[in-house]
Amino acid sequence: MARPFTDTGLDWNAEDRFSDSEREALLDWYREAHGTGDLSLVKFAPFLIDFLPAEFKLSRRHLSSIPQPRDGVALPDIALILCYLHSYTATAYTDGILYQIISARHLGASKALVMDVLRYAYLSAGPRGMNAVADRSEAYLRDWKDDDPPARLIHWPPGWAPDPGAFRSGIDLTTTELAAQEILAISRWHQRMHGVVPRHVELLARLHPEAYKLQRIRYEKSVGPVIPAQLVPLLTLHLAAMRLQPIVMRQAVHQARVLGARRHHVVQALFGGLRQSIDPMVLEAAVDAVGQELSGWEEDDAP
């Protein structure tokens, strides 16, 4: 099995230092995978190697562990890169957005796939996040021709495929008038996808039906024709784990299972998001949110 995209062959036994060859191999990786031939987007890398080598090497070991398979199940590297692209867009991390776009392209993403992720991220990013995209990534995206062939073939997990219709509740997307049967359709969609009908559906639909329906239409049109449907709730989970939003995390896990993701796919996306918050009590809060769903879900359960 090929080693993870993030694995540059570091010696984990030499825990507190980088050899000269390790330093150059890792910085070369950053120049190629996260940069445009230099380290301007990742100034943290040489800084951490030189000033906090033990902590940085352990962080890299942790990062390389997340893509490891369990019982033959694993997310492809591109899926985790796209999770970070989505979360960095939503949190307006300007340099990170560009270096994840570069990594996604390196791993075989088409421009259309990247734009699908940015389209979905816009729901959470708003103007601040889109400013961050435009600030450093607009020129790169303009230079990337729509029909440029991918650098390599993406091998999605079995059964993964685009399905924008999975995110449609059946409401009429051509009018802002919210009918009573549409509220019912939205409620049924939530029950199926999230395992619960959120309290906001009835309340907001009653208090401001036009605004609520337009919000719903934006969501239903946010999933593009290229991104696999199974990846979408993992994007949400990754961001919710970074933000420690328990209800969103729980509903994203349920939706991922409904759409056919495997348990280890979910666990990998969860760990990816939790890398930003290492405090043990953050892990406890995450388990409070999703532990019951994960503990009752065996890998051989049919989707």
The per-residue pLDDT string of the chain (303 residues; one tens digit each, 9 = 90 and over) reads: 567 898 999 999 999 999 999 999 999 999 999 998 999 999 999 999 999 999 999 999 999 999 999 999 999 999 999 999 999 999 999 999 999 999 999 999 999 999 999 999 999 999 999 999 999 999 999 999 999 999 899 999 999 999 999 999 999 999 999 999 999 999 999 999 999 999 999 999 999 999 999 999 999 999 999 999 999 999 999 999 999 999 999 999 999 999 999 999 999 999 999 998 888 999 999 999 999 999 999 876 655
What is d(CA 117, CA 69) in angstroms, rounded to the nearest whole number? 24
CA distances from 221 to 44, 111, 214, 298 (A): 37, 19, 10, 32
Domain end among 65, 98, 125? 65
Are 196 and 281 part of one and the same domain?
Answer: no
What is d(CA 83, CA 129) in angstroms, rounded to the nearest whole number? 15
- What are the contacts of 289-295 at 24+ separation with CB within 8 A? 289/246, 289/247, 289/249, 289/250, 290/249, 290/250, 290/253, 290/266, 293/250, 293/253, 293/254, 293/257, 294/253, 294/263, 294/266, 294/267
Return the DSSP state at 228: B
- In this structure, is residue 36 part of a structural domain? yes
Asked if residue 194 lies in contact with residue 255, where contact means CB atoms within 8 angstroms, the answer is yes
The domain total for the chain is 3
Residue 125 belongs to domain spanning = 77-150+226-295
Q: Is 6 strand, coil or helix?
A: coil
- In this structure, is residue 163 part of a structural domain? no
Are 214 and 235 part of one and the same domain?
Answer: no
Q: Of the candidates 164, 175, 88, which has an alpha carbon nearest to the alpha carbon of residue 124?
A: 88
Residue 69 C-alpha from the chain's centroid: 18
Are 83 and 120 part of one and the same domain?
Answer: yes
Return the DSSP state at 4: P
What is d(CA 149, CA 84) in angstroms, rounded to the nearest whole number? 23
Are 234 and 260 part of one and the same domain?
Answer: yes
Burial of 109 (0-12, 13-18, 19+ CB in 10 A): buried
What is d(CA 102, CA 108) in angstroms, rounded to the nearest whole number? 10
What is d(CA 51, CA 56) in angstroms, rounded to the nearest whole number? 9
- Helices 232-243 and 246-259: crossing angle, nearest 10°? 160
- In this structure, is residue 286 part of a structural domain? yes
- In this structure, is residue 175 part of a structural domain? yes
Are 52 and 176 part of one and the same domain?
Answer: no
Q: Which two tokens stand for residue 210?
A: 């036009």
Cα-atom radius of gyration of the chain, to the nearest Å?
20
Are 176 and 205 part of one and the same domain?
Answer: yes
Q: What are the two backbone dihedrals, phi and then psi, of residue 70, each rounded to the nearest 5 degrees?
A: -135, 125
